[in-house]
Chain A
Amino acid sequence: MTEVAESVAGRMPAASRTRRMAGGPRLRRLVPALYIAFLLVPIYWLVNMSLKTNEEIVSIFSIWPKHPTLANYMVIFTDPSWYSGYINSIIYVVMNMAISVTVALPAAYAFSRYRFLGDKHLFFWLLTNRMAPPAVFALPFFQLYSAVGLFDTHIAVALAHCLFNVPLAVWILEGFMSGVPKEIDETAYIDGYSFPRFFVKIFMPLIASGIGVAAFFCFMFSWVELLLSRTLTSVDAKPIAATMTRTVSASGLDWGVLAAAGVLTIVPGALVIWFVRNYIAKGFALGRV
């Protein structure tokens, strides 16, 4: 309960801080503005390229497109080998999000509410799963999934990504859950709620923002992961990132289309981040702010 209150109240000091900064000398605004502009240069250049023709990209240096065109985007939306990459990626990312959060919810509840032998070690061990490079798991996953006939399916990638997304979701959710006083659970039991009913009707609404943040992080890490998703797919479930790395055609690189694909790859992440923007800092701190 207090955590919920804090996360709401936590936004207010930040707002008043920016207001105070704005009233200060010009330099205070100039420095962050320059920094942000600097960070945005590659993204601008990507957008810039995506609106040019290949000839313009390779022949002259231009800050903005001389002959703006949407042809590159049209290629992506009409060519199945391009747009199916997006569809595949979205399918396995959503599957992974759903599996990770569903599995992590009860696990996080156990870590936050019960004391059992080795609970702290187990909790820390979860995080160590993020410490091994995915390349280590590429080979065993490839062999295992081929053996059981899961190779080149969406669920294969979704399950493989659980390797690092479930521990992350457990960590984030545990932080949010520990902010809810245990007495709320007990009051619900005293009122007569059974555990499942309490969990769905009372508890999940209380940590809704935590679930949102956990889902976002699962989305993000699954969306940007390339190695496992490329290893475990060939045609039917080929992700967009893999498509982008294999576009050297006979006529050389198709710069403009690649740039358009890059822009479209950023869009879903930007959309999702908009929904959880108020809780994102807490999520990066694994729910422990």
Chain B
Amino acid sequence: MALELIGISKTVGGEAHIVDVSLTLEKGSINVLLGPTLSGKTSLMRLMAGLDRPTEGQVRVGGREVTGEPVQRRNVAMVYQQFINYPTLTVYENIASPLRVAGVDRATLDRRVREAAELLRLSPMLERTPLELSGGQQQRTALARALVKGAELVLLDEPLANLDYKLREELRAELPRIFQESGAIFVYATTEPTEALLLGGRTATLHQGRVTQFGPTPEVYRQPIDLTTARTFSDPPLNVLAVTKQGERATGVGAPLELAAEGSLAGLPDGRYTIGFRPHHLYLAPPGGRAVALTATVAVTEITGSESFVHLDVGSERWVAIAHGIHELAVDAPAQVWIDPARLFVFDGGGRLVAGPRPARQAA
């Protein structure tokens, strides 16, 4: 049973939350909604679940239109970023809740609740109430309730955002496996590009209520079709610079960058472009090959232990370089950095990708 969104829009009080989204999510697939806060991930999920009604467009499940159908009649499960459980019920009753409403017989109910609890390691806490549990256990209760229902569509709205990183890593690895066995359409919203890459599957990047690109996650990462997608799918932010290409040379606009038109820039017609590259492709030491050097001003250096995040001012742009090891650079001092022309994304005036590190997909 595939879920199809056809030309979905949602306007609330004159403000467009979702603009003309069309997506097809296949049965048994993992789908990631990736976008910054307020990009419309939650709005889109609420439309998929049937909690909200789209202003325009159609929602179909397995070819049947369900646009106006109330959420009770759809077979969905949803987990929120906040830990949402029924505080007055025990963990057991919380997990059993969808089965009780569905009128499942006692023995089956008990078996399924215990199975789900076992899978999410909640067995010792079944008789407690959610408020007596830790945050991670509360969220696992919510996940168990979503799992036990055996829904066709499982929506997880940043389910791990409020957990500490250790639990997050554990659950992130388990979640797709747990839900994939049920053959459900699995939708996972996140603000973190890393999380999308770890989950794999297919990714839809969202920006201001629009889906900018939808495809297999590694493909969206390696070949973003435009600048907004590349920016969304980059953490720390993508480094960008406007350049003018003339003949065999490209010159930075307002920045001291001169480079030969090779690598990604080769073979493009003359004109204004925006180049973008990821923070780990901005080097503090010459990487070899045909890298080009330029001088930037150090703004901030953050050291996380094994890596250094060096923020640099280049003309009016702020760049970030990620380098292994500890690099303590004096603030406001000039620093020499290197760019590899082969690692550049090149975007035209409209922000569309015209050339990338690998042969770019033909702009369709």
Contacts and interface: CB of A to CB of B under 8 A. Distances in A.
Interface in A1-52: 1, 4-5
B72 A189 contact: yes
B131 A190 contact: no
Nearest to A8: B131
A192 B82 contact: no
Contacts of A181: 82, 84
A206 interface: yes
Given A1-B131, A4-B131, A189 B71 contact: yes
Given A1-B131, A4-B131, A5-B131, A189 B84 contact: no
Between B51, B80, B88, the greatest number of chain A beta carbons within 10 A of the residue's beta carbon is seen for: B88
Interface stretch (B96-104, B117-125, B234-242, B279-287): B96-104
Interface size classification for chain A = 20 to 34
A251 interface: no
Nearest to A1: B87
Given A189-B72, A192-B72, A184 B51 contact: no
A191 interface: yes
B22 to A, nearest CB: 24
Contact of B101 (A5, A193, A205): A193
A194 interface: yes
Interface in A175-222: 181, 183-184, 186-194, 197, 202, 205-206, 208
Contacts of B88: 202, 205-206, 208
Interface in B127-183: 131, 142, 145, 149
A227 B158 CA distance: 58
B325 interface: no
Interface residues of B, number: 24
Contacts, number: 59
A191 B70 contact: no
Contact of B76 (A188, A190, A202): A190
Nearest to A184: B84
A191 B89 CA distance: 14
Contacts of B71: 186, 189-190
A191 B79 CA distance: 11
Contacts of B72: 189, 192-194
Contacts of A184: 84, 86
A177 to B, nearest CB: 14
Contacts of B34: none
Nearest to A191: B98
A103 to B, nearest CB: 24
21 contacts: A1-B84, A186-B71, A187-B80, A187-B85, A187-B142, A187-B145, A188-B97, A189-B51, A189-B71, A189-B72, A190-B49, A190-B76, A191-B97, A191-B101, A192-B98, A192-B102, A193-B72, A194-B72, A205-B88, A206-B86, A206-B87
Interface of A: 1, 4-5, 181, 183-184, 186-194, 197, 202, 205-206, 208
What are the nearest 5 A-B pairs in CB distance?
A192-B101, A191-B98, A205-B88, A183-B84, A1-B87
